[in-house]
Amino acid sequence: MAAKTSYIGAGVVRNDAREKVTGTARYAGDLKFDRMLYAKLLRSKYAHARLVRVDASKAAKLPGVKAVVTGKDFPYRMGLYLVDRTPYAVDKVRYYGEPVAGVAAISPEIAEEALSLIEVEYEELPPVLDVLEAIKPESPLVHPNLHEYEHVPAIFPVPHTNISNHFKIRKGDVEKGFAEADLIVEDTYYVPQIQHSPLEPHAAIALYDREGKLTIWASSQSPFAMRKILSQSLKWPMHKIRVIGPYVGGGFGGKAGLNVEATLVPLAMKARGYPMKLVCTREEEFRDTFVRQGMWCRLKTGVKRNGRITAQEFEMYWDGGAYTEYGVNVTRAAGYSSAGVYDIPNMKTDSYCVYTNKPVGGPLRGFGHGENHWAIEQHMDQIAHRLGMDPVEFRMINLQREGSTNATGQVLHNVGIGKCLEETARLIGWTKVTGPGKIEPGTKKVRAKGIACMTKAPAMPNDAASTAIVKLNDDGTVVLNISAQELGQGAFTVLAQICAEELGVRYEDIRIYPVDTDHGAYEWQTVASRITYSCGRAVMEAARDAKRQLIDHASRYFGVPAEDVDVVDGEVFVKSNPSRRVPVGTLALGATLPDFSGYGGPVVGRGKFIPEGIVAMDAETGQSPKPVANWTYGAQAVEIELDLETGRIDVKKVAAVYDAGRVINPVTATSQVEGGVVQGLSIGLFEEMKFDERGKLLNPSYVDYKIATAAEIPEMLVGFVEVPQEDGPYGARGIGEHVMVPTPPAIANALFHAVGVRVKRLPMTSENVYWALRQK
């Protein structure tokens, strides 16, 4: 009987002979499932325990099992900003659900059976589950070896504690500022850990071929960052690691960096030549991928009777979970934006990232700003009410404007927050509010409005780069080679628009393909709302480069000066004689001159972009003349209806206005805002991860973890302010994350305006609001 064969890229796999793979496939769909292995992970049933013994020998002998690994087999630490995490627990487990062992087998059922054969002996340790307990000197250490971990220069761990990063702002003279104040308001606020809830769970395929090359197909926002982390951890050259990123079915930050994909690497190395797949269950997606960090904070603000803020003191303690390799940068970003949209002359901020024995904290849309603005924007309303001022009026007095300084001391220019706030108030129909609302006797439902502002910068290294390659085909189509990832946010649409506009071709003729680190132009990560701004600039430069080449070819072809040539709608023509024209494809490979000689060669444009002038913040003060690439501002107002009998908040209307610099695609920009509003509403009213006293997640599915549905979508009034970003494409800057940040505090402020109840802990569920009403 002839041997059955299947193909993986250039390599042939003979299934009966189990030969090694000699090539790799570009797309996961190219892999043949009769060769595929299926990975499953054995996860800890303790939040904090010492691993006494892990015996996987029985699992390895089970027929159909091709590889078994434990932490001892692969003790390599990994991390983007702080190298503190191993794919499998080595010496102890640090959260309930941490991988202890992995199995790859010919079927999911055999892999599951093999997991049941692995014997693990634990010595349970006291779990650290409260962030305020974790910072105490006597608290058990989640990472006793923190002082040995590598980290980037901008991160400041505190050795022999649970504090993995301490970011500081010291601006002006805080004591003097409070001494000058006529009123000092101090309060505490809290947000819980929450999940990203992408429609598509984390999924990956890994293949280690016989040439020693590792290929990973992953639902990832960060193919190049994933390659870099693996290269640094394994001490492999980057050309030995290839990451391919198909379209991502929802990311929201949870698919940034390197996550569950790392568990496949040692399995792939053991089962050389076999592609293997790992797909997270919904429970694993909730518990074992990045979550948004919880945060407890104390905010103290001094203000004059005329409403001018004189000083602010802000302490934030972030529940970073068991590993904070990405979360440390979240706490940093929240620290340097701790002034919010306000011009505050004297500031002291301390932002602490803290280890606990809970799921791993990391990036979620907003990157720390939904959390710190939950406190800032409620606090501003409280101060306004204490002064007897309208919240909009109070904000207008203190807003950043031309020449203001932010928390880092940066002098600001082209600030659009004032226009955003004015337009938001107009759209919602704002009327003056000077104090808390009152419950009228006999009333069962009340309506009220609330408002909140926000600002955010792209949190990225100073050297975060974007590149693009534009290749013109001789049929007139254009290949736009980029590695920005399409998450459903419309990045490919906007980047294709920029390319078509600059090159002079039709949008329909632009082709963009999935990310491949072996063949794609470099992109740092698809995070930080930076793609339109950063990759857009690279695309613009690449398209302009290609157009210069095309015009040069046309100049020789037509025998006219380059200044007399233009490209519009896919045709190259002579401006002084428009009848002389040819399709761009005619000149894509160069120009054929009258003597039949060739000129120029194929048109391939290159572009790159790194924001210029960024200066690292001082380690002790956080001060810098330009700490980040840009700032995006926005405001939201809501109108709610509160049921006094049940505590249920129904958001009826939302007005949202953002300074996008320049709106390149109004449809996708509006959709971003609408989606962000619904996500912000969901976080504000429903979402919270709940744990028992031993650290077990109690609501790892949508049965008990509630998110907003179509039934909760309010009427939305969306507007844009366009104060151009000097180095953005056509003046554009990103708005993707910003649009969900102010929704929860706007709802909380509306609740206070309705009945005088201030809820300072998310979420504002019917139950939580009901008990707050009863206490009042």
pLDDT digits (tens, 9 = 90+) for 293-319: 999 999 999 999 999 999 999 999 999
**Of 507, 503, 639, which is closest to residue 572 (Cα–Cα)?**
503
Share of the chain above pLDDT 70, in %: 96
Tokens of 564: 């007399």
User: What secondary structure letter does DSSP report for 78?
Assistant: B
Task: Report the alpha-carbon distance of residue 642 to residue 448 in Å, rounded.
Answer: 8
Beta bridge partners of 151: 82
Whether the CB-CB separation of 464 and 224 falls below 8 Å is answered with no
Percent of the chain with pLDDT over 90: 93
Task: Say if residue 21's pLDDT is above 80.
Answer: no
HEC assignment per residue over 725-746: CCCCHHHCCCCCCHHHCCHHHH
Q: Do the Cβ atoms of 299 and 417 come closer than 8 Å?
A: no
390 pLDDT higher than 70: yes
Contact 489, 482 (CB under 8 A): no
All CATH 3.90.1170.50 domain ranges of the chain, comma separated, are 31-125+199-250+255-287
d(CA 256, CA 252): 9
How far is the C-alpha of 747 from the C-alpha of 378, rounded, in Å? 10
**How confident is the model at residue 76, as a pLDDT?**
96
The boundaries of every CATH 3.30.365.10 domain in the chain are 17-25+463-609, 367-459+630-775
pLDDT band of residue 400 (cuts 50, 70, 90) is very high
**For range 374-399, the mean pLDDT:** 98
Asked if 100 and 93 count as a contact pair (C-beta separation under 8 A), the reply is yes
DSSP state, residue 122 = E
**Angle of the 743-755 helix axis to the 369-387 helix axis, nearest 10:** 30
Closest to 196 in 3D by CA, of 274, 264, 144, 251: 251
Architecture of the structural domain at 31-125+199-250+255-287: Alpha-Beta Complex (3.90)
Q: Please give the full DSSP string across 580-594, using - where no structure is assigned.
A: EEEEGGGGTT-EE-T
CB hemisphere CA count around 33 (13 angstroms): 3
Q: Which two tokens stand for residue 57?
A: 């020998």
Which residues, 6+ apart, have CB-to-CB distance to 211 below 8 Å? 22
- Residues 679 and 94: their CA atoms lie apart, in Å, by 30
| pLDDT top residue among 13 and 731 | 731
- The model's pLDDT over 83-132, given as tens digits with 9 standing for 90+, comes to 999 999 999 999 999 999 999 999 999 999 999 999 999 999 999 999 99
Residue 638 has what pLDDT? 98
Assess contact for 573 and 539: CB atoms under 8 A. Answer: no
Cα–Cα distance between 195 and 191 in angstroms, integer? Answer: 12
Architecture of domain 367-459+630-775: 2-Layer Sandwich (3.30)
Those residues with Cβ within 8 angstroms of residue 138's Cβ, 6 or more apart along the chain or in another chain: none
Q: How far apart (Å, rounded) are the C-alpha atoms in residues 4 and 682? A: 51
Averaged pLDDT score across all residues of the chain: 94
CA distance 178 to 310: 7
Structure tokens at 111: 């892999």
CB atoms within 10 A of CB 61: 11
Give pLDDT, residue 277. 98
Contact 59, 100 (CB under 8 A): no
Which neighbouring-strand residues pair with 68?
Answer: 103
| Alpha carbons 464 and 529: distance in angstroms, whole number | 13
Q: In CATH, which of 1.10.630.10, 3.40.50.1860, 3.40.50.970, 3.30.365.10 is domain 17-25+463-609?
A: 3.30.365.10
Greater confidence, 451 or 437? 451
Give the whole-angstrom CA distance, residue 393 versus residue 381. 10
